[in-house]
Each structure stands twice: as structure tokens, then as C-alpha cells.
Structure 1
Amino acid sequence: MNAWIDIVGNYELNLTAEDISPSQEIRVFFSGNEETPRRTSLVVSKGGFKIVCQTSRGERVWKERRCALQLPWRIRILKKGNFFRLWVNDRTEWIRGALGEWEGFYDPFENRVGVEIPKGAVISSFTVTPLPWLQQVTEPVIKRGPEGSFYEMQVIPGAIIKYNGLYYMYCVTAMKGDQEGASRRSIGVAISEDLRNWGMHPEPVIRPSDLPPCDNLYVNGAVVAPEGKVAIMFSAQRFPEWLGFMLATAEEPLGPFKLHPKNPVFKHPYPAHEFDLIRVDHPEYRYMLFYAGFTPDPPTGPPGDRGYLIYSDDLVNWWEDPRNPVFGPETLDNWDAVHVRPRSLCRIGETWYLWYEGCNRWSPPGSEHHGWWDTVGLARSKDLVNWEYYPRNPALPALGISGEQFDSSWVGWPRMLIKGDTCYVFYTGNGQVGLRTIKVEQLTNWESEGGTTIDLLR
């Protein structure tokens, strides 16, 4: 028995095998089509399962899980952009760029999904559901600058404020170099009237030379204080050492910015540089900062980044939440098992929605890839301690498609702003700023992404 369907974009596949001979296997194709030079499948047998890529030189096994699998086999595959999560009964696996992204082969936007089943095997269900959330194919809304400019290598969204009818996006702007892919990171600012069309201010508002002997500045938060001043907070680095969280204020969004004399105003005992800053005007504190700090001995999972809350009335004196760390990975062995990095926190009604980076490690066979596979997920909470994770994470993945697409392989640094009934989700795609949008009512409805389930056995 064979069953096939062409699916455009993201999808969820569910298949149940009730009976199969002990010597037989089921092969579920989940990435590639008849025009791609490669096809990748999940091969399941009683002795376990493996992710296999068919290439012009034969089959290559990307991953293999040896385990005893009892019938029935409940197989689930979730495709989100170039990221795949796979389940066989209670065992899980994951892969980013299943055709071999690290070798220059990208997962297409349209895939021919299907199953090869040996004679005599019994399949009781086989469905595919399209998942249309946040998969717009677009161009960057802020591109890298010309060679020699202060943002020739990277422009990454750090924080957004609205001031006198205009939107100001404070960005990490970088030149060429070898300090994690760039160097001389400064704080630039882009300006927009509508959140879609942006123009970069011609000069950084703060440079590393303003804080000697810093090499890189990573802006993460910005607020308008009650007295009308603009405050930005950023991490400073003397590569590779992290120096803490810094504060600068100005009368206007474009500065000039004055560095606080007590910088750093906060420093985690281990490396930390990603966070979000929110003005909440709570009776017990005015500001809240949610940051990612390395945790050598977390409550669950391996050592890695976890989420911490701190509070302040003046952006200078901070105190920690006694329940820290308050945010950890969704999984212990899947896409976000090692690092979780809070990036963008927004309140909708009585619920906080958090965009965060998740990361796990895997070295592809025969490859010199560094082994880290970041992508972006979504979680929500009413108290910032007890979290519900989006059931189809990662919610904001890279797209795959081709090497020419700016957000084909890696996305990170999400930053969401809500205007009217629309959520504007900014992010970096390989060093340029992208934008995907979604209606608030869709973002808050986790029951479905709106796709109609297709039964392939009918």
C-alpha cells in the first residue's frame, strides 16, 4: 500500500500502524519532492527508527534510535519550516534541514508526503493537516548596509518603542569580523511610521568605543519612562567575556544617550546577554526584566540557559524573583532541550505570551557543522512561573526553501509588537530583520492553526 499527497508549507502528519511482520518496516517520506535531488524519510521497524536521506550516492542515515517498539505504532511528524519533530509511540526525535541543510540542500516549500507500506501490513489511520501559521515568504524589512557601514554584516532587532507617532527599533548592528560571525557591534536605530517600512538612522546611537574596553553591544530592551525619557538596556561584551546589563537614557529616541554611572546595573553570575525589558507599573515594581542566564545545575535537563525574572522601580536597582529560574525547556530530549532564551514578552488580556529561542545540539555525520540548532518557540503563562508551551513548536522557524532566501536556515531574536488586531513578529534571519504577522485571535487560539485535516485512507 502506498499513499501520497503534495503539501505546501507546514503540516502535521499522523499515522497508526496496527499490524506488520517483525521483519518488515514502514517508510514515511516527509521532506522533498519529485524535483529535489534528495528525499528524506522516517523508517520504522520493531527494532527502532531512523531518519534516512536518499541521495544520488545512495542512502545516508542522519539519525538512528534503537529501541523496542510495540504495536500499534503511532507515528507523528511535525514540519515547521526547516524544522521537523518526529514521534514514534513515546519516543521522539528532531532534525533541522532534513535534506542536508549543512551541505547546501534545503527543504522545499512544497513536499510530496507519503508512506510505503509492505504487503500485509495494516494501517488504521493516516492524516495530514496543513499548518498555515507564520510561514510568509518575504524579503527583509531591514537589510544589511553597504560594505564599510556600521551594519554591513548584521542588523538584529533588539527593542521597539512608539514615540510621538513613530516607531523606533533599536538594533544590534555589526561589521565584519570573527567574534561569533561579526564584530564591533553597536546600537543602531531604525524608524518607521507603519511597522513595515523602515529607514536606518545614519549613525549608531551608542558605539563600543563609548564603553571602553568593550568590543560588542547587544541591545535588548527599551522603554519610555514616566517622565518621558527614553531608556535603553543592553549587554556589553569584552569578547568573549560578558560584562553585564547596561543602562543609557536620553531625552529623545535618537539621543544623545547618557550612560549610567553605576553600569553594569545588573550582572548574572554566569554568562547572560539576552532579555526583554517591560514597563508594567505594578504596585510593587515599575519595571520587569526577563533574561536568559546560563545555569550550571538547572532543576531539569542539562546545563544551559534558563529564564530569570528581576524587578526594579528605577532601572538601576534590581532584585531577583526568589523562584528563579522561572522558565525552562519544553522538552528534555528534543528541539529546546539545552538552551531556552526569553526574547519577547507581551501581555494579551490576563496572559503573558513569550517568544523564546530554543536550542539543542547534534553533529551531522561526516560534517564539520558546529552542532547548535537554534530556532524560535512560543509559550504562555498567567503568572510567569507556570508555563504552557505551544503544542506545535517551534512556532517561528526558518523557512528552508533555498540558500537565497534570507531566513532559510536560522532565525532568532524575535520581538513582537501588537498594533490593533495584528501581532507583528520581527526576527533576524541570518543577520537581517524579517517580519511575519498573525492576527491576535489566531495567536491566542492554540487548538488549531486553521488547516483542514486530510484523510489519506479515504
Structure 2
Amino acid sequence: MADIYLIIVLTFMASNVTNHDSMKKDWQIVEGSSGAWDFQADEIECEIVNDGLHRILSEKIISGDWIIETEIEHINYSSQSIHFSIAEDYSYGYILTLENSELILRRITTDNEQDNWIQSITSNPVRADILAYGTSNYEIEIDNFTLASPDVSSITDDFESGLAQWNQYDGQATTQGGRLRLGNDGIMAHNEGVQTIGRILPNEYLEASVQVNSVSGDGGCQIDFRLIPENNQSGYLGIQRRFNQFGSEFIFKVMPGWDLPPISVPNHARKFNLKITCDRSTGISAGYYNLLDETGWIKIGDTKMLQISRTLVKIWQIPKTKLRPRFNKFNILKRGATYAFRLNDHMIGTITNPKLQGAIQINNLYEFPEPNKGRYGLSFTNKGKYRIPKFQIWPIPSVKKYEGNPILSSKEASGAWDENQAFPATIKKFGETYYLYYTGIDNTDSRLEGGGIGRIGLATSYDGYHFEKYEQNPIFERVIPNSHQPLKIQGMSLVKEPNERYALTYTVWDNDRWIRLEYAIGNSPYGPFNLGLNNPLIKTSKPPGFDETHIHLHNLIRQLDGSFIMIYTGFGRVLDRWGDRGGLAMSEDFVKWTKYPDNPVFPLGESGAWDDTHVRPKGIIKYGDYHYMFYEGAHYAEHVALWFDQIGMARSKDLIHWERYPYNPIIPIDAGGGRDTLVTEWPIPIEIESGLAIFYWGGMPGNVGISRADICKDLLYGWE
């Protein structure tokens, strides 16, 4: 039976994992009849006489990044489950179940915190809260508000008397013509929130409602309508409505961080009512919306559904073409805090941070991280015979993140030119010195993304780990000619022109778009840099096109023959699907640039992959026979309604046909207590003795900065 085997490869995965002597020794029967299991030399069989859970777990623990492959033969369409990242005491972990035509991912949870907190909302005095947020100019108008409990008291407001019944705790909300107005003040990326001064102790029943008259503006925006218990000012129960770039959906939310899956509605539905109810007799609170059509009130969710859903992460509907009648092949890849799932060689989906039950919980991932070690196993429930001819698990190589990260902080003192943020632009080595070019953003214009103007600075190092910022920073500021007004820019790359001067490239924010790529010229790596004479290098294309709206992240290489290549990111349409993709441009002299006619050369990842929402090429380097590209990729995490950006790697010999690394993301969001719990992006490579060093932007909420990770040459050469 050479083609039928059962191997468990555990060596090198953890110090407490060793090769096994026998199949039976490596497995522990933890539930169900022990007589149902037959552990043979080359396969496992399970025969269930009566319906009931039968589960086995490994006695060993695996750590780090790995791949599980298993094949299961069964008599009928019975449920089959794979367990992974399971705690020794079964207090956490994940279960992937194929049941009929659904693939279901569940989390194991044993705490009662959610139950206790949900009950408290109906037994304490509550206030109402209305909070709006937008990334650009927005305006939300509200007509009427009510908070009432029968036979107790009520708070009502038609906003004819201003904000007499409200505290303004964020922004500058106003009233006009009997309407509460949030936004409409020309400030970018900001909150505006009000909270009732009065509060109500619920009787048997509490109801709060609000009428939203209109929502307008650019970018993404949202409104939250919430009830806040007096005993817990950090928690709330409420409804969130999102618009524009944030999608168009309602979400039932309970802080500290529990959300139900969103409900999508037409984006043009900008006039609607919201209602929250709390019933003490049942202990259930619920959220509703009404689009003011004939449908009436529609439930978004309630706390009972929330309690049920706390174990549910995701359900994928599997087309029959991807199912096999009697034989299914499962593949699970774990990379950091990201899991990718394949069934019968088809990509099904990807989940990052499946532990999260709500977006706000991301703030706690450093203290309560995703598991990075655990047991694995199998379980079956339905009567019948199951045969497992293959169960294989093996480690996959990982990058080495510098323990002292970040090597450059993302924030500086108040008033500094790089007060708000610092992003890596490019890294070069001249002589014995590393030159790290970065984009700094000040705190002078809240209407702009990041809160201010971007300029380019420099930090130097002799060892590639300890950097000092150049005392004459910033080394370049893009000022509109014949004026003193700066434009927001993001630094990207540095190359030598044919005349041996240094060209510093960047992307320009103008007319609310990343609209063109330019360069500045200097005689030294330190500058000073002055605006180039042949700008722009390239700019956005005429619609429709893959780069019709934005053109931003990029990198340049000067080739041995003196010509130049550019890998860049464009945002636009391909077959009417919007997103960021990778393009190629070329120049013989750095003056005249030509876009490759069949752009984009780097498309979105396959549906369900970790990079199927956007790909943003940033770093490129020639190493051996290949050009290696490092890029940002993201997928939409529905379980928390977030996009997780992580770093991927691809290689090419001709710059047109790119092969993705099979175990991406190469620099992932961390599990197990690593500091990169929020993001890894903006990757830039440089060759070192042991392989490549990647400088990137990574970290956790409130502590993100320029970081370093090393990729050994064995990983690059041993691609598969």
C-alpha cells in the first residue's frame, strides 16, 4: 500500500515532539467508545455503531507554522471534523467540520464573561450614545431620539432645543432646523459623539430608538447607536451602520468586542430608523433597523444569537463540484495567526485571528494572543465506517523577526515633522552604512489620511539594527512651485540615474487621489534633494483601467545594462472588479517611461486566499536567478469586519509571470505573543550575508513602527 500511508511528521516542530513508535501510542481517545477506533500501521479506521461524538487527539504538541493534510473515506455524507491548535486542557482551539455541503470553522471557548456582561445590560442604569466616524468629509443628520422604560421614565429629543440633553464627548456636533448634525466640518478621519446626560434604570422592558434622516459624504463613514450601562463605561450594546468604502451593512455589537455577522443593505438606503430593546424577563437584548419601506422592522441580531455564535467563526457553502461522494482531502495551513483551508485541492477560505469575536478585541491580542501551539485530532459523530489513509503534518519555514523591533518608532514628539507616523520607503547600503529612507507624517491637517503632510526622512546604521535619524531631516518636502504650500507624499525608492546622481521617488496625493509618481534629485544619499525636471514618471491611466484611480506603492531597480524597471501598485478596475494590483513600467534613460501593455502583471490572489482583496507590490530585489517581490496582501475578515494586511512574497525571471510563495504570507500577523498583532506591510528588501533582510511596518495597536525580519537563503532556494 505504497500510496496509502499515515505519517505524522513532528520532529523540529517543538522540543517536546518526537517521532512515534506506533500509531496507537501517538493518539489519545478522549470521547466515545474506544472500541470504535482501529490504529493500523498505515491507516486509521473508526466504525461508529450508534450516533455520538467519537474524538481522538494527539498526545504530542506542535508549535509554530505547519500544514495538515488528511484524507477521509466514508460511507455517506457524514460529518467529519479536524481539530487543531487545541490546548492541553481543551480550553481553546479550533474545529473544522465538513457537514453536508458546508465547511464550518468553530472556536472552543469556556469562559462565562460574555454571559455575565450581557445580563448586566438589563439590570443597571443606562445612557444612550450616538457616535459617527468618517475618513473624509461626511454629514449625518438625525431627526428624533427616544429612550424609554414603561412606568419608569423616558428621555426624548427632537433637537429643537439644541444639545441641552446631551454631553459632547468627541468632536463638534451641532443642531440645525430640529436635527442633530454630525460631521460637515471639513475635518478628515475623525469622530463626533454625543451622550445623554440623563439615564434610565430599566423596568421589565427598555426601548431606545433614533431616526436617521440622511447620510452623505466621501470615503468610508459609519454611525453607532448604543446603550451604555452605568457600571461599565467601557462597554456598550448597540448597532453600527456602515457606508461607502466601509461597505453597506448593519452590525449588532456588544462591547467588550462581540459582534454578530453583518447584514448587507443597499448603499443608497440613507434614511432609516434604528431600535434597541432590552427585556429583563428573558434577559435578551436586540437590535433592529427599518428602511422605511413596506418591510417594517428587521432584526439585526440579539444577545441570544450572540451567545450561540461565540463558538462559530465562519461557514463556507461548498459547491457540489468540490465535494467527493466518499473521499475528501483536507488541507490546513497555519502561518502566524492566519489559517488557510483547502478541500479536495480547491481553496475554500482564509481566516486571520479567528479567536476574535469582535474588532475591538484586537487591542488585547498581545496579552491574550492567538494560540501558537497545541494538539490536533479527528472526530466523527454519525453512525458508519470511516477510513483515514493519510494524516500528515509537517512544519513550514518561518522568517526570523528581530527581537528588538521596532527598529524605528512610528511616532515622535509633538510638533515634530514625523509626529504621527513613520513608514519605510526604501533601504540601501553604500559602503559600510545602511540608509533607511522613510515617510514621516506630521500632525497639521486632520483632513488628510494619517492626520498630516508626508515628507521624506533618513536614518542611518552601521549594523542594520540600530538606526539614528539624520539631524537635518526631512531631506525632501514636495512644495507646489511658486508657493510655500506642501503636498502630501509617500517616499518609495532610491536609484542612481545614468549621470550617477541619486533619484528619490515618491507618490503624490493631489485632488484626493494618489495620482502620480515623481522623483527628486540629489548629489549624495543624504541629499539635499530637489524636484526633478522630467516629472511625472508615470500617472494614473484613463478609465477604465487597473490604475485609473490611484497609483502608489512602488519600487525601482537599475539593471546591469543601465535601464530601469518599476513594479508599482495601481487601484482601478479589471473586468469590473475594483482593487489594488501590480503593474510593470520600464525606461531606458529614467526620463521616458512605458507601462507594460498587458498590465496588471500581478493579479489578486485566488478567491478565498489571504490576498484575494488587494495586492500592493512594494519591494523588489534581484537575488540569484530571480527577481523577488514583496507585497501587501489582504482579505476581508467577515467575523470581525476588518481587512488584515500582511506581507507576501513572489518571484519571477521575466518580471511578467510571477509565482507566489506557496506558504504565504511570508511575514504574517503574529500568534503566540508576537508584537505584530495588527499589521505587517510596506516591505522593502536588502541583501545580507545570510539571505535577505526585510524592513516593514508592523506592530500592535498603539505601537506600530518600522521593523525587521530576515529570510535565510535556504528558504529562498528551497522554494517548495
Report TM bin, short chain.
0.7 to 0.9
* Per-residue CA distance 1:137-169 (angstroms, 9 max, x = gap): 622122234332333332221112222431111
CA pair 415-111 structure 1, distance change in 2 beyond 3 A = farther
Alpha-carbon distance in 1 for matches of 2:338, 2:675: 16
User: Which residue of structure 2 lines up, in the alignment, with residue 109 of structure 1?
Assistant: 372
Give the 3-state SS of the residue equivalent to 1:85 in structure 2: strand
How many Å separate the matches in 1 of 2:329 and 2:449?
Answer: 41
Aligned 1:240-319 pairs, distance under 5 A: 240-269=512-541, 270=548, 271-282=550-561, 286-298=563-575, 302-319=577-594
Structure 1 residues 384-420: Cα deviation after superposition (integer angstroms, max 9, x where no partner): 1122221112222121334xx4322210111111123
Give the secondary structure class of the aligned counterpart of 2:465.
Answer: coil
Which one-letter code corresponds to 1:248 in the other structure?
A
Partner in structure 2 of residue 439 of structure 1? 712
Aligned partners of 1:398, 1:241: CA distance in 2, in Å? 28
Q: TM-score, normalised by structure 1?
A: 0.87
Deviations 1:194-218 (A, max 9, x none): 2222112242112355776555211
Q: Which residue of 1 aligns with 2:654?
A: 383
Q: Which residue of 1 aligns with 2:332?
A: 77
Number of aligned residue pairs: give it.
436
Q: Aligned-pair distance for 1:91?
A: 4.6
SS at match of 1:107: coil
Contact 2:347–2:609 (Cα < 8 Å) also in 1: no
SS in 2 for 1:443: helix
Cα distance in 2 for partners of 1:208, 1:82 equals 39
Gaps in structure 1 of 5+ consecutive residues: 448-458
For the Cα contact (< 8 Å) 1:32–1:99, is it kept in 2? no
Q: Which of the numbers 224, 231, 239 marks the counterpart of 2:496?
A: 224
Q: Is the 8 A contact 1:273 1:292 kept in 2?
A: yes
Per the alignment, residue 355 of structure 1 pairs with 630
Bigger shift: residues 289-298 or 179-188: 179-188
Aligned partner of 1:196 in structure 2 is 465
The residue correspondences of 1:47-58 to structure 2 (distance < 5 A) are 47-55=101-109, 56=111, 57=307
CA distance in 2, matches of 1:165, 1:248: 24
The C-alpha deviation readout for 1:78-101, integer Å capped at 9, x for no partner, is 111111111121251111111117
Between structure 1 and structure 2, the one with the greater Rg is 2
- Decide which of 33, 40, 45 is 2:94's aligned counterpart: 40
Task: Give the aligned partner of residue 454 of structure 1.
Answer: none
C-alpha distance 46-178 of structure 1, shift in aligned 2 (>3 A)? farther
Return the alpha-carbon distance in structure 2 between the equivalents of residues 145 and 274 of structure 1.
Answer: 21
The answer as to whether partners of 2:441 and 2:450 remain within 8 angstroms in 1 is no
Letter in 1 for 2:467: W
Contact 1:157 1:433 in 2 (8 A): yes
Deviation at 1:355, TM superposition (A): 1.2
Q: Which residue of 2 aligns with 1:96?
A: 352
Aligned mate of 1:206, from 468, 471, 476: 476
1:29 equivalent among 51, 76, 83? 83
Question: Secondary structure of the equivalent of 1:295?
Answer: strand
Partner of 2:618: 343
Of 663, 667, 685, the residue aligned with 1:392 is: 663
Greater shift after overlay, 187-196 or 317-326?
317-326
SS at match of 2:566: strand
For 1:204, give the aligned amino acid: P
Aligned to 1:61: 312
Alignment partner, residue 643 of structure 2: 372
Whole-angstrom distance in 1 between the partners of 2:485 and 2:91 = 50
SS at match of 2:677: coil
Q: Aligned to 1:434, what secondary structure does the other structure show?
A: strand
Are 1:356 and 1:414, in contact at CA under 8 Å, matched by a contact in 2? yes
> Which region of structure 1 is more displaced relative to structure 2, 65-74 or 422-431?
65-74
In 2, Cα distance between the equivalents of 1:303 and 1:263? 27
Query: What's the offset of the Cα at 1:356?
Result: 1.5
1:327 and 2:602 equivalent?
yes
Aligned CA distance change for structure 1 residues 112 and 151 (closer, same or farther; 3 Å): farther
Which residues of 2 match residues 149-168 of structure 1 at below 5 A?
Answer: 149-168=416-435
Task: Tell me what 1:407 maps to.
Answer: 676
Say if 1:233 and 1:245, in contact at 8 Å, map to a contact too.
yes
Deviates more, 1:36-45 or 1:11-20: 36-45
Equivalent position SS for 1:290: strand
Give the secondary-structure state (helix, strand or coil) at the position aligned to 2:715: helix
Deviation at 1:125, TM superposition (A): 1.7
CA deviations over 1:110-159 (Å, ceiling 9, x no partner)? 23333333474322221211223215362212223433233333222111
User: 1:178, CA displacement in angstroms?
Assistant: 6.7
Deviates more, 1:136-145 or 1:383-392: 136-145
Q: Distance in 2 between matches of 1:37 and 1:228?
A: 62
- CA 1:164 to 1:9, structure 2 compared with 1: closer, same or farther past 3 Å? same
- Matching residue of 2:407: 141
Displacement after TM superposition at 1:20 (Å): 5.6
RMSD over equivalenced CA pairs, Å: 2.6
Contact 2:79/2:97 (CA < 8 Å) preserved in 1? Answer: yes
Q: Could you list the runs of 5+ residues in structure 2 that have no partner in the other structure?
A: 1-54, 112-306, 542-547
Equivalent-residue separation in structure 1 for 2:537 and 2:582 (angstroms): 18
State which drifts further: 31-40 or 222-231.
31-40
Give CA-to-partner distance per residue, 1:10-55, whole Å, 9 cap, x none. 1111111112653x42332334635796433212223221121233
Indicate yes or no: 2:72 matched with 1:17: yes
Residue 222 of structure 1 and its aligned partner are, at CA, apart by 0.4
Whole-angstrom distance in 2 between the partners of 1:362 and 1:322 = 34
